[in-house]
Amino acid sequence: MPDPRANDAPALAPRPPGDWHLPAPYDWRAALAVLLIGLALIWSAQRVEVDRMLRLTGEAALAQVGLQEESQVGRGLGRMFGALFPFVIEDRQEVARLPNLDRDALPRFTRIETIETTRYVMNSETLQAEPVVESKEYLVHPFGYLLKVADKMVETFEIAVWATIIAVLLSIPLAILGARNYTPHPVLYTMSRSLVSFLRSMPELIIAMFLVLGYGFGSIAGYLALGLHGAGFLGKFYAEDIEAADRKPQEALTALGAGKLRVLRAAVLPQVAPAYVAYTLYILDRNVRMAAVIGLVGAGGIGQELKGRYDLFEYGHVGTILLAIFLTVFALDQVSARLRARLIG
Amino acid sequence: MARAALAQDGGGVQPHLSFAHLVRRFPDGVRALDDVSFTVPKGQFCVVLGRSGSGKTTLLRSVNGLTELDGGTIRMGDMDMSDATLRAIRRKVAMVHQSFNLVERASVAANVLSGAVAEAPSWRVHLGWYPARLRARACAVLHRVGLDEIHLPRRAAALSGGQQQRVGIARALLLDPEVILADEPVASLDPAISREILALLRDVARERGATVLCSLHQTDLAREFGDRIVGMRQGRVVFDGPPARFDAAAEAALYGAAEMPMRPAPHLIEEPVYA
Ligand SMILES: Nc1ncnc2c1ncn2[C@@H]1O[C@H](COP(=O)(O)OP(=O)(O)O)[C@@H](O)[C@H]1O
Ligand SMILES: [Mg+2]
């Protein structure tokens, strides 16, 4: 507000400019803080073996370009990556274990494969190992496992969507109570902020473990756990944006006699909406990734499948699952980027 | 002199706004209002003139309760301002702000309709779906302030300063306020636009018989648009009279660099005319 006239307010006793105190950009306390943080990081680097991490990584890099024979990291990871390929997409089941299989009317796309394996069996009389040819029949669905993974992935996505819905629904009241300028009472403010911090501090894996005890294995524990943890994020971000929103339009509507909820709707929501969309899409994205993880404790979705295959050393299946997760997250990223651009643009 | 005559007519009727011994102290000891008393008759365009920091904003904001007072009373019509009457008063008082105070990301239409945010049914406010009567009124006031249908869906931030203030005036007019408070409505606009906006404000208020309390810091604009000028300095009223009486001496009293006597010269105050 350029104002040509001098200020009319009664000021402090004026001093000549030579005596003025110009505040320094930073003081000794800031310098000390930087120094202490540096020392703490050096101390911590030894505890978490940063030096060893760097040495091993360096060796792996040298081995890659052929300057070194081999490296521990390269060997371990290499074995694992090797095992992931080729991705398994077919489904095969032993016919002997499918008593109800009607050979004349096989399920669609499936075929029966016979595989002969030679085993050496010790003949107890001759004490010689003799070859025994065994043939096993398998019912093979050429992309059966892919379909199963897709189905699990859809379930995972559903868990993520419901978790996001729960997080948003919990966060809206928590954010209003937890915004300093809109809370009906300071006690409610403190309670809301504490609850939100608590929810955020509880890892979803742990929440899911507890919920599995109550709700049993399956997706309920999954989306409740992710929803509660997500509310710990959204409740904080939503509230902080309400507090930081431009006060001027809020004041304009307050001056017209509008109550707090109406001011929130008409003057705050339009300001915070783009950020809210961004946060919510981020939580959805995170929920898809985390839904894959919490399956590890039996809370439904693709994680449950992943854990099963990993425990059976079926790394080819693990590879397919990891690829499916990556593709889903990637696709979601594209969609949400477009959505954000449209809603914010 | 037509304007002065209009102002004088107001002297006979009951005052629309009356301020009695208003005091506002800030914790740092500044007296933003220091025993301010005057009355404004219905339909008057009353300019509050003074340089930055003289207490104009504090005075205007005390009318709709955005600033609390440490002493004194405000009456509007037959209502004494208190916590109990605040809501009722706010619904009859609209405000036009120096920095427009629009929701910048919202459309022009939404900004104008938000003028009815306290009146429309709650579910309509929350769905953003205002009644047809209000939507029709929003179009009418937007047309009145000189905007067009093409502006309706535009973001407020996409308009020029002058256009934004037109939207601010349209929002203020939506519910036909009795009193319009305009706090330096043109301080962030260039001189030519400032004149257009003040003329618009004066005309729409006159059409509706609304009383205007408009703060300004430019003497020329105050002389041109005010029915009356109330001059403030350091929280006190140091001039009160029609623009014709706002002479060089009055201007010096208001803006003079020399330390002012704590009480204004009695001849500069025209109280009897407006009481
Ligand atoms: N919130 C506040 N806290 C402390 N001092 C304030 C506050 N608001 C205004 N003041 C002081 O009150 C005086 C009057 O301010 P204001 O009413 O804004 O004047 P004007 O609108 O004429 O520029 C000024 O000295 C200003 O510094
Ligand atoms: Mg001001």
**CB contact at 8 A, B55 and B32:** yes
Together in a domain, A313 and A208: yes
pLDDT at residue number B256: 78
Q: Does the CB atom of residue B161 touch ligand 1 within 6 A?
A: no
Q: What distance in angstroms lies between residue B43's CA and the mean position of ligand 2's atoms?
A: 23
H-only helix segments in A256-344: 260-263, 269-294, 302-311, 315-344
Choose the closest CB to A9 out of B30, B101, B117: B30
The protein residue whose alpha carbon is closest to atom 24 in ligand 1 is B53
pLDDT at residue number A191: 97
pLDDT at residue number A210: 92
- A304, part of any domain: yes
Together in a domain, A202 and A294: yes
- What total of structural domains would you count in chain A? 3
Together in a domain, A234 and A320: yes
Which atom belonging to ligand 1 lies closest to the Cα atom of B184? Answer: 21
C-alpha dist (Å) from residue A36 to A44, A50, A228, A292? 12, 19, 36, 39
10 Å CB burial of residue B81 (0-12, 13-18, 19+) is buried
pLDDT at residue number A9: 53
Which atom belonging to ligand 1 lies closest to the Cα atom of B54? Answer: 22
Binned average pLDDT, 10 residues per bin, chain A of 345 residues: 48 77 86 96 94 90 79 80 83 84 83 85 83 86 90 92 96 97 96 96 91 91 95 96 96 93 95 92 91 84 88 90 90 87 73
User: Where do we find the tokens 């949400």?
Assistant: A336
B117 and A262 within 8 Å at the Cβ level: the answer is yes
Our CA-based measurement puts residue A272 at a distance from the nearest CA of chain B, in whole angstroms, of: 9
Q: How many CA atoms lie within 13 A of B37 on its CB side?
A: 11
Our CA-based measurement puts residue B96 at a distance from the nearest CA of chain A, in whole angstroms, of: 8
Would you state the torsion angle of the CA atoms of residues A210, A213, A214, A216, taken in this order, to the nearest 10 degrees?
Answer: 120
Together in a domain, A242 and A298: yes
List, in sequence order, every beta strand (DSSP E) within B143-248.
Answer: 179-183, 211-216, 228-233, 236-241
Mutate-to-test residue for ligand 1 from B23, B58, B63, B232, highest number of ligand atoms within 8 A of CB: B58
Choose the closest CB to A255 out of B64, B106, B234: B64
Which atom belonging to ligand 1 lies closest to the Cα atom of B52? Answer: 23
Our CA-based measurement puts residue A25 at a distance from the nearest CA of chain B, in whole angstroms, of: 26
- A2, part of any domain: no
pLDDT at residue number A79: 80
pLDDT tens-place string over residues A114-123: 888 888 888 8
Together in a domain, A77 and A205: no
Measure the CA–CA gap between A233 and A230, rounded to whole angstroms.
5
Together in a domain, A237 and A319: yes
Q: Does the CB atom of residue B53 touch ligand 1 within 6 A?
A: yes
Q: Which letter does DSSP use for residue B48 in this model?
A: E
**CB contact at 8 A, B141 and B96:** no
The protein residue whose alpha carbon is closest to atom 3 in ligand 1 is B26
Together in a domain, A123 and A166: no
C-alpha dist (Å) from residue A222 to A57, A193, A208, A210? 36, 24, 6, 11
Q: Does the CB atom of residue B129 touch ligand 1 within 6 A?
A: no
Q: Quick check: B117 contacting A, CB < 8 Å?
A: yes
H-only helix segments in B11-160: 56-63, 86-92, 108-113, 122-127, 132-144
Q: Quick check: B10 contacting A, CB < 8 Å?
A: no
- A287, part of any domain: yes
What residues form DSSP beta bridges with B24?
Answer: B33
- pTM of this prediction? 0.80
Together in a domain, A207 and A256: yes
**CB contact at 8 A, A91 and A149:** no
Together in a domain, A225 and A126: no
What residues form DSSP beta bridges with B17?
Answer: B40, B76
Measure the CA–CA gap between B155 and A344, rounded to whole angstroms.
12
- A240, part of any domain: yes
Measure the CA–CA gap between B106 and A270, rounded to whole angstroms.
6
CATH of the domain at A330: 1.10.3720.10
Three-class SS state of B107: strand
Measure the CA–CA gap between B152 and B139, rounded to whole angstroms.
8
Together in a domain, A112 and A177: no
| Domain extent for A244 | 145-344
Together in a domain, A264 and A336: yes
Q: Does the CB atom of residue B22 touch ligand 1 within 6 A?
A: no
- A30, part of any domain: no
- A28, part of any domain: no
ipTM for the complex shown: 0.85
Q: Looking at this protein, which amino acid is placed at residue B10?
A: G
For chain B, which ranges sit under pLDDT 50?
1-11, 260-266, 270-275
- A281, part of any domain: yes
A265 and B50 within 8 Å at the Cβ level: the answer is no
- A17, part of any domain: no
Measure the CA–CA gap between A165 and B268, rounded to whole angstroms.
67
Together in a domain, A151 and A295: yes
